[in-house]
Amino acid sequence: MAHYKLILAYDGTQYHGFQRQANRQTIQAVFEEALRKIGWQGRAVMPSGRTDSGVHALGQVVSFNFDWNHPDETLRAALNAFLPADISVRQVAQAHPGFHPRYDALSRTYRYQLYQAQSRDPLVDRYAWRLSQEPDVERMNQAAALLMGEHDFRGFGKALREDGTTIRRIEQAEWHRDGDLLVFYITGNAFLYHMVRRIVHVLVLVGQGKQDLEIVKRGLETGSTGIVDLAPARGLTLTRVRYPEDE
Amino acid sequence: MAHYKLILAYDGTQYHGFQRQANRQTIQAVFEEALRKIGWQGRAVMPSGRTDSGVHALGQVVSFNFDWNHPDETLRAALNAFLPADISVRQVAQAHPGFHPRYDALSRTYRYQLYQAQSRDPLVDRYAWRLSQEPDVERMNQAAALLMGEHDFRGFGKALREDGTTIRRIEQAEWHRDGDLLVFYITGNAFLYHMVRRIVHVLVLVGQGKQDLEIVKRGLETGSTGIVDLAPARGLTLTRVRYPEDE
């Protein structure tokens, strides 16, 4: 029985997030169904973390035990043959037996995409948040810079367990322009529930001049920004999870 | 009664092309339904040309007469409120009464997107053709250059009417790299049925070393390349239609 580590990509538009739920289409359910079709009899695969309903991934990592007596490349091809067009296995590798995609992760990187337009661009809108008012990138980057380092982020998200710590370490948080898109990359050791989407919403308010940089400082110092809105899921993609063995 | 000229964008994935057909979901049917909801009583809108099943658009132009007694901007907002997420009105303008989106067009520009990967990238695959073997961009551009100017393109497509001419004039045909994508822009006074997708298929074969440049020359000289395959619709987008008044 080998332990496999797979990199999954998916378009989350049609799914109720990663994690299996009764009577709901989820990435996990569809992926496990494909695994079962090629003979897997396990109970559940383990992800690096959940993604919310509508959130996409280019670098979700899952692991599972499987008695597959063929090359890794064949496992990828077999799974992709059974997966729908919006889920894809990008890489297959064997991991050491103790590998755990969530506990072993050193960091996660998310991407968030925005565009400004008076009407939807249907070829962009699936993977980006449309704003009617253009935000100022420099102001957004000034606000983002305040997030760098170790902080208590309870003003920007919730711990999944009630007694969980809300301290996280951010090592990258930067916007850049890519054609018509504004693209944000944020990397941290881990993220609270809804944290990236709440951060993006606050940064956009700052970029549009509707809030000052102060709101970010206040959020970090007092544990509340007063803003409860989230940036839409459609713009968010889990792009990479980094492990010690990747170094 | 004013004559309107609209620019439409759509994700063609879920549609059987632009043109209305009985019992099939088409862009035209859905667009006309939205128009009727705001009081339009015309028979049919006129497009710059059809797009095939699965083909996308950023710059499709349609025109119609409509007794709309409000600002153009309101017409755009009202239509977008009734259109599904995959169809969008990007611009509204009033045209002179004799404006005809098809006959008046000086040129059409199409974009075709490719990417090379061993497995699908679900965030790219909706709008690009995945190849397992990377084509050589320089070779594709050498082949594309042969298409420039006026030629009989009957080896690369069909006239929609049996007695129609198959002579077309190409003024742009070039590939460039954009991140992981290979992007082709082709502009011509008009295109035969399936012409862009057939050209792309032939250029890819040349780029992959499976055919020589000769195949393009032969296609233009003898009216047949011997290749009947088409590049998939998913990679193709009608990006712009140019009119005398745009100059």
List, as one string, the DSSP characters of A61-110: EEEEEE---S-HHHHHHHHHHHS-TTEEEEEEEEE-TT--TTTT--EEEE
The pairs formed by A75-82 with CB atoms below 8 angstroms and a separation of 24 or more are A75/A4, A75/A38, A76/A6, A76/B118, A76/B119, A78/A38, A79/A6, A79/A31, A79/A34, A79/A35, A79/A38, A80/B119, A80/B120, A82/A33, A82/A34, A82/A37, A82/A38
B123–A90 CB contact, under 8 Å? no
Q: With bands split at pLDDT 50, 70 and 90, how would you rate the model's confidence at A161?
A: confident
pLDDT computed for residue A1 by the predictor? 85
pLDDT computed for residue B161 by the predictor? 77
Q: How many CB pairs under 8 A join A and B?
A: 65
What are A88-108's pLDDT values in tens digits?
A: 999 999 999 999 999 999 999
Indicate whether A185 pLDDT > 80.
yes
Quote the CA–CA distance of B233 and B56 in Å, as a whole number: 8
Bridge partners for B178 per DSSP? B181
A122–B10 CB contact, under 8 Å? yes
- Out of A9, A76, A125, the one facing B122 most closely (by C-beta) is A9
Catalytic residue among A52, A104, A121, A163: A52
Contact predicate A115/A132, CB 8 Å = no
Indicate whether A35 pLDDT > 80.
yes
What are A196-239's pLDDT values in tens digits?
A: 999 999 999 999 999 999 999 999 999 999 999 999 999 999 99
pLDDT computed for residue B163 by the predictor? 73
pLDDT computed for residue A52 by the predictor? 95
Pick among A80, A92, A119, A180 to test the B interface (most B CBs inside 10 A): A119
- Out of A58, A120, A127, the one facing B88 most closely (by C-beta) is A120
Pick among A6, A8, A120 to test the B interface (most B CBs inside 10 A): A120
B164 CA to chain A: closest CA distance, Å? 33
pLDDT computed for residue A101 by the predictor? 97
Indicate whether B77 pLDDT > 80.
yes
B123–A11 CB contact, under 8 Å? yes
- Out of A10, A89, A123, the one facing B119 most closely (by C-beta) is A89
Name the pTM for this structure. Answer: 0.93
Indicate whether B139 pLDDT > 90.
yes
For range A16-32, the mean pLDDT:
96
- Out of B11, B89, B118, the one facing A123 most closely (by C-beta) is B11
Active site residue B52: yes
Chain B hits for A79, CB-CB cut-off 8 Å, are none
Structural domains of chain B sorted by starting position, each given as residue range(s) with its CATH number in brackets: 2-95 (3.30.70.580), 107-246 (3.30.70.660)
pLDDT computed for residue A61 by the predictor? 98
What are B167-187's pLDDT values in tens digits?
A: 999 999 999 999 999 999 999
Q: Where are the alpha helices (DSSP H) in chain A?
A: 27-37, 72-82, 137-145, 195-207, 214-222
Share the mean pLDDT of chain A.
96
> By C-alpha distance, which of A93, A18, A86, A13 is closest to B121?
A86
A22 CA to chain B: closest CA distance, Å? 25
B11–A90 CB contact, under 8 Å? no
Q: With bands split at pLDDT 50, 70 and 90, how would you rate the model's confidence at B52?
A: very high
Q: What is the 3-state secondary structure (H, E, C) of B103-150?
A: CCCCEEEEEEEEEECCCCCCCCHHHCEEECCCCCHHHHHHHHHCCCEE
Written as six digits, the tokens of B207 are 């780029």
Residue of B nearest to A118 (CA): B90
Indicate whether B162 pLDDT > 80.
no
What are A106-148's pLDDT values in tens digits?
A: 999 999 999 999 999 999 999 999 999 999 999 999 999 999 9
B11–A237 CB contact, under 8 Å? no
For range B105-130, the mean pLDDT:
97
Indicate whether B91 pLDDT > 90.
yes
Residue of B nearest to A128 (CA): B123
Chain B hits for A90, CB-CB cut-off 8 Å, are 117, 119, 121
Bridge partners for B150 per DSSP? B169
Chain A hits for B85, CB-CB cut-off 8 Å, are 120, 122, 125
Chain B hits for A30, CB-CB cut-off 8 Å, are none
- Out of B76, B123, B237, the one facing A123 most closely (by C-beta) is B237
Q: Chain A residues with CB-CB distance to B under 8 A?
A: 9-11, 56, 58, 76, 80, 85-90, 117-123, 125-127, 237
Q: Chain B residues with CB-CB distance to A under 8 A?
A: 9-11, 56, 58, 76, 80, 85-90, 117-123, 125-127, 237
Q: What is the ipTM of this complex?
A: 0.89
